């Protein structure tokens, strides 16, 4: 027991009560120190397929809106078709890159990744990627897909399950904690439902 003289306004009793409260607060804020769970090829492929569905659905809705607006207007179709195809392709590419870069550099999770409970993190410090590194990862993703998806094969053999795009951008894909384990208060044991 500490017999030091209490400071002004502090009594030995208040010091004894404060210590357990402070210990509880600091312990509840600590993250779990268990080993990281690196995610494999199938989980990542399903998350990517979900993201591709979202990207394509938005692109189809936008293209339908543009087509509807152009059908109302009287514009020469021959000269406009080439321009619209080029503009549509450029917008689709910008939308796809922006989708991944934005999500990877803000939360580390795209909507598909969130559904599959995985997240992209910096391999060096475990933090969220900066936009430039997220863009590099997207470029690496395209490079990994070009040689018949061979750039994804290292995921099967690497100890941290990293593909070519992960190695280029120095990232890892890890299991994201579930919402129940991220709760702010102390967790209570859940009783099974009958």
pLDDT in tens, 85-135: 999 999 999 999 999 999 999 999 999 999 999 999 999 999 999 999 999
How far apart (Å, rounded) are the C-alpha atoms in residues 69 and 80? Answer: 14
- Position 16 scores a pLDDT of 46
Please check whether residue 11 lies inside any domain of the structure.
no
Please check whether residue 5 lies inside any domain of the structure.
no
- Position 70 scores a pLDDT of 85
Number of folded domains in the chain?
1
Smallest CA-to-CA distance from 39 within 185, 192, 156, 184 is with 156
Please check whether residue 132 lies inside any domain of the structure.
yes
Please check whether residue 17 lies inside any domain of the structure.
no
- Position 179 scores a pLDDT of 66
* 37-53 per-residue burial string, b: 16 or more CB within 10 A, e: under 16: ebbeeebbeebbebbee
Is 16 exposed, middle or buried, given 0-12, 13-18 or 19+ CB atoms closer than 10 A? exposed
150 is in which domain, residue-wise?
41-175
DSSP character at residue 36: P
Please check whether residue 15 lies inside any domain of the structure.
no
Q: What is the mean pLDDT of each run of 10 residues along the chain (194 residues)?
A: 54 48 51 75 97 98 92 79 90 98 97 97 96 98 96 96 97 87 49 43
- Position 36 scores a pLDDT of 85
Please check whether residue 57 lies inside any domain of the structure.
yes
Q: What contacts 180, CB < 8 A, 6 or more positions away? A: 187, 190
Please check whether residue 129 lies inside any domain of the structure.
yes
- Position 82 scores a pLDDT of 85
Please check whether residue 110 lies inside any domain of the structure.
yes
**Torsion angle of alpha carbons 12, 18, 19, 23, nearest 10°?**
180
């Amino acid at each position: 027991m500490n017999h030091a003289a209490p400071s002004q306004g502090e009594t030995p009793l208040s010091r004894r009560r404060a210590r357990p409260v402070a210990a509880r607060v600091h312990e509840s804020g600590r993250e779990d120190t268990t080993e990281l769970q690196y995610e494999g090829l199938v989980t990542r492929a399903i998350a990517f397929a979900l993201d591709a569905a979202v990207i394509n659905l938005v692109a189809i809705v936008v293209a339908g809106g543009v087509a509807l607006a152009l059908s109302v207007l009287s514009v020469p179709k021959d000269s406009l078709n080439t321009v619209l195809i080029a503009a549509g392709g450029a917008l689709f590419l910008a939308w796809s890159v922006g989708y991944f870069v934005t999500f990877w550099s803000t939360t580390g999770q795209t909507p598909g990744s969130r559904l599959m409970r995985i997240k992209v993190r910096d391999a060096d410090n475990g933090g969220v990627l900066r936009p430039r590194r997220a863009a590099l990862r997207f470029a690496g993703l395209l490079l990994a897909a070009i040689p018949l998806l061979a750039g994804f094969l290292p995921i099967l053999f690497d100890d941290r399950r990293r593909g070519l795009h992960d190695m280029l951008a120095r990232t890892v894909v890890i299991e994201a904690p579930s919402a129940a384990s991220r709760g702010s208060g102390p967790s209570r044991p859940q009783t099974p439902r009958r």
